[in-house]
Amino acid sequence: MNYERPAVHRTIFAVDVEGYSDRHRTTPHRLELREGLYGALVRAFDDAGVPWGACRREDCGDGVFVLAPAEVPKGLFVEFLPAALAVALHRHNRTHEAGARIRLRMALHAGEVAYDDHGVTAPSINHSFRLLEAPPLKEALKSSRGVLALITSTWFFDEVVRHSDGLDPTTFRPVSVAVKETRTTGWISLPDRPFPADADLLAASNRPSGTTAP
């Protein structure tokens, strides 16, 4: 086996279907759901300008994991992809019965990814899946009338979301993530049912710990 392949930087995208194992879903429902999920992802990636064919994709049964090339601008994943994906999901849901409808949790992160003969591995990938499983993200989607709840890592929020001209970072909310051994902060948004803008909350996240607003 080849263990000498250098690690490469990738944008990490993952989605998980809410209630995929619900007992009210039948096998035909899940097959329709999966077909609709991939159709929505391909359409959304295309509409957002992210080359689906250039990305590495792995099926997770109840979701999909994608690694995008480093040269693809990360801003596309927050400025255009969530909205395009929400539109595609709504389109699918309008033409399918309840058991085949889709609501998604989505996670975004980035980092060095190592490849071997069996696939990929990296702490950044593990981190992305911990974000995807965060209880606050599940609760945000459950409480929303929309079809998509997004969580980004702190790194992705600080390096991409804060500096974006194409979205309002004050509509994101910081949450504590405690999944397995991971303890971190994630940033949640609801692309098709956004939180109200809160500039004070964003400003507070910039202040050093222990300080208060003037």
What pLDDT, in 10s, does the model give residues 173-209? Answer: 999 999 999 999 999 999 999 999 888 877 777 755 4
37: Cα within 13 Å, side-chain hemisphere: 27
Q: 42-59: per-residue pLDDT in tens?
A: 999 999 999 999 999 999
Output the pLDDT for position 211. 36
* 66-96 as b/e: b if 16+ CB within 10 A: bbbeeebebbbbbbbbbbbbbbbbbebbeeb
The residue ranges of every structural domain in the chain are: 8-204
Superfamily name and number for 8-204: Nucleotide cyclase, GGDEF domain (3.30.70.1230)
* Amino acid making up residue 171: T
CA-to-CA distance for 101 and 140, rounded, in angstroms?
18
Residues β-bridged to residue 16: 63, 105
Q: What is the pTM of this model?
A: 0.91
Q: Which residue has the tokens 């950044």?
A: 124
**Residue 3 phi/psi, 5° resolution?**
-105, 10
Contact 34, 42 (CB under 8 A): no
Output the pLDDT for position 47. 97
Q: 119-157: per-residue pLDDT in tens?
A: 899 999 999 999 999 999 999 999 999 999 999 999 999
Q: How much is the mean pLDDT over the chain?
A: 92
Number of H helices, E strands in the chain: 7, 8
